[in-house]
Structure 1
Amino acid sequence: MLSFSELHQFLRMPVLIQHFIEHRQQDPSLSLLGFLNLHYIHQYIHDEDYQQDQQLPFRHSDCCVTYTTVCCETLAILL
């Protein structure tokens, strides 16, 4: 995960923790796995806190880089 993640996404971790705390206040039985399942596994729901959900880390990609490598073999020519 670390090698393919945008580093600035980790700076949003406090937002994730605060949002989890808010959800726990509304539903004390919600576990961390349940929270992650709700916000990352299932299809994104446009509810009253959708804008806040969009601020969570790893919800979308801001930067995308693709590397392509082409290798060509050549035969040695013997004279």
Structure 2
Amino acid sequence: MSVSMFRAGDKVIIESRGEFYAYVDGWVGRVAVIGPAQPNACHSQVPGGHAIVEVERPDGETTLQLTVPFDHLRLTF
């Protein structure tokens, strides 16, 4: 199990370390859930070593929830 330096509400930037997250590289969001977490009405299961990051799209109307590994996240302001 990975220990997280992140907390819910932290502002983070996604830094892709491979092709899978390349599309969202550079996106900024807020940590919503730290794994491991069981599924509930608001989110699916979050594995250990991952966080759900809520990212607002440029249209301002859509918020996405992305499950991202800790090593692809960096705190930002």
Same-fold status (TM-score > 0.5): no
Normalised-by-shorter TM-score class:
under 0.3
More strand by share: 2
TM superposition score normalised by structure 1? 0.25
TM superposition score normalised by structure 2? 0.25
Q: Using CA pairs below 8 Å that are at least 6 residues apart, which structure has the higher relative contact order?
A: 1
Between structure 1 and structure 2, the one with the greater Rg is 1
More helix by share: 1
